[in-house]
Structure 1
Amino acid sequence: MWVECFENDARFDGADVEVLVEQLLSHVRASHNVSYSDDEVRTWARNFADASLREDGAVVRLPSVGPVEVHPVTEDRIDDWLMLFDRDAFPDNPDWGSCYCLHPHTGDAPERPWRDVRAEMIERLRAGATVGYLAYAGGRVVGWVNASFRSSYAKYDGIDPEGPAPDTVVGVSCFVIAPPYRRHGVSSALLDHVVADGATRGARYVEGYPRRTPDGKDSTSFCGPRSMFEGREFTPVEEHEWFTLVRRPV
């Protein structure tokens, strides 16, 4: 297993997770002035180290993927959702292996053990507090989109205060695509399904939050490119520091 500093300036490999955790903490304290407590750094390092073993899916992009099917995450598809997040979503980026797409709902919060985050998201999916869709190719789950109502997102609380009520707007907060299936239109297929399904969910609008200054990296493209939204008649509503709010009626 291994752990890498969040500033990408040091990496530690080994078989003992607690040794790696303390090596990382020592490096952070010696090299970086950050506000995270020791416990937060340790939790982050343990999450990273666990993910470096657990996320063992393929990383090489496929030349083609064939037809893509999209289905909502119902109770009988939670195991598929777990397969994606437990193993296939982030083998190239263990730093995100503990996210399980909870961040839009909580906003910036202290680092938690990944098993706790995983358990909370399972309960949210079962209760309908988080709504999302899975993409399949060749019978395998390859992607996810979080398309919950904006009223459930602490991360986007307070945006466009003069706009539509948050519980009438589906917010497309995150796309997660397994590395071999990226740049094959999987996110587009997911977005198309979210838009098509909006009216049946009682939504009036669908909106997205594409990054304002994309850098071309997969790890920072999780909100989807602005061009993908514009190609589906989403229009800009507000500019924020890191993202543009775009929206269309269902």
Structure 2
Amino acid sequence: MPVLSDLTVRPVDTVPWEDVRIVFGIRGDPAGCWCQFFKLSNAEWNDRPREEFSRTLREQIEAPTPAPGVLAYLGDEPVGWCAVEPRPNYSRLKRMPLVAAGGLDDLDDASVWAVTCFVVRVGFRKRGVSGALLEGAVEHARAHGARIIEAYPVDVAERPKASSADLYHGPLSLFERAGFTVAARPKSDRAVVQLRLTE
């Protein structure tokens, strides 16, 4: 498939809510998560009705804090989402063995932002949307004072049969192309990557 060239990326607090709903859809993992997994404990995740998650994301978008992500457009068509926020906003990251094994910066440092999730609509995959989303996420984080951007991608060279559901973190190659470097390799098929914006 050809790479899409007419892509733009916007902070999610500057776009209509209906565009967010279109990207997350009505079925599959995105429609059941609405990027709340990394913000909840296991008990909260298991106990809360899934239909509440869309309302929670909308409240987070409307809050007077930096938007929790960016949306990609092909022309006027919303085609993808990337979650990016200060790392302390993602309470689950503190408990994840992958992150803990990295032994990296103070997990409460709000100048470290984290990219946790990509959603690209069916029909627009493998056409450069994720790359555009990552670039937009970096610019969004930079505009709000991020010092470091961190992510937890899958190395498909080590896990060649990774499903699209497994790749919501993004593939390692995507981050390497964007200038991220491997800061830790807690598992053979997973990495912690970082992009330093300031020293």
Distance 1:249 1:96 in 2: 29
1:163 aligns with 2:105: yes
Q: Which whole-Å deviations, capped at 9, do the CAs of 1:186-207 have from their partners, x for residues lacking one?
A: 0100111222333221110111
Report the secondary structure of 2:91's partner residue. coil
Partner of 1:151: 88
Alpha-carbon offset, residue 172 of structure 1:
0.5
> For residues 129 and 194 of structure 1, what CA distance do their matches in structure 2 show?
12
Match of 1:249 in 2: 196
Higher percent of residues as strand: 2
* 3-state secondary structure, aligned to 1:222: helix
Report deviation, 1:75.
5.6
Specify whether residues 130 and 113 from structure 1 end up closer, same or farther in structure 2 by C-alpha distance, changes over 3 A only.
farther
Q: How does 1:233-244 map to 2 (within 5 A)?
A: 233-241=179-187, 243-244=190-191
Q: Report which of the two structures shows the higher radius of gyration computed on alpha carbons.
A: 1
Q: Does 1:138 align with 2:81?
A: no
Whether contact under 8 Å (2:153, 2:190) holds in the other structure is yes
Out of 17, 20, 34, the residue aligned to residue 100 of structure 1 is 34
* Aligned residues with identical type, % of pairs: 27
Match of 1:47 in 2: none
Gaps of 5+ in 2: none
Name the Cα RMSD after superposition: 2.4
Name the CA distance, whole Å, in 2 between partners of 1:69 and 1:75: 13
Aligned to 1:114: 50
Q: How many residues align?
A: 184
Q: TM-score, normalization: structure 1?
A: 0.66
Which one of 136, 152, 166 corresponds to residue 220 of structure 1?
Answer: 166
Structure 1 counterpart of 2:60: 124
3-state secondary structure, aligned to 1:218 = coil
TM-score, scaled relative to structure 2? 0.81
In the alignment, is the contact (CA less than 8 A) between 1:146 and 1:172 conserved in 2?
Answer: yes
Residues 203-235 of structure 1: CA deviation (Å, up to 9, x unaligned): 101111102443342121111110111112211
3-state SS of the aligned residue for 2:82?
A: strand
Letter of the 1:226 counterpart? L
Task: State the Cα distance separating 1:249 from its structure 2 match.
Answer: 0.8
Aligned partner (choices 142, 162, 166) of residue 199 of structure 1: 142
Maintained 8 Å contact 1:98/1:113: no
Unaligned runs of 5+ in 1: 1-61
How many angstroms apart in 2 are the aligned matches of 1:79 and 1:219?
23
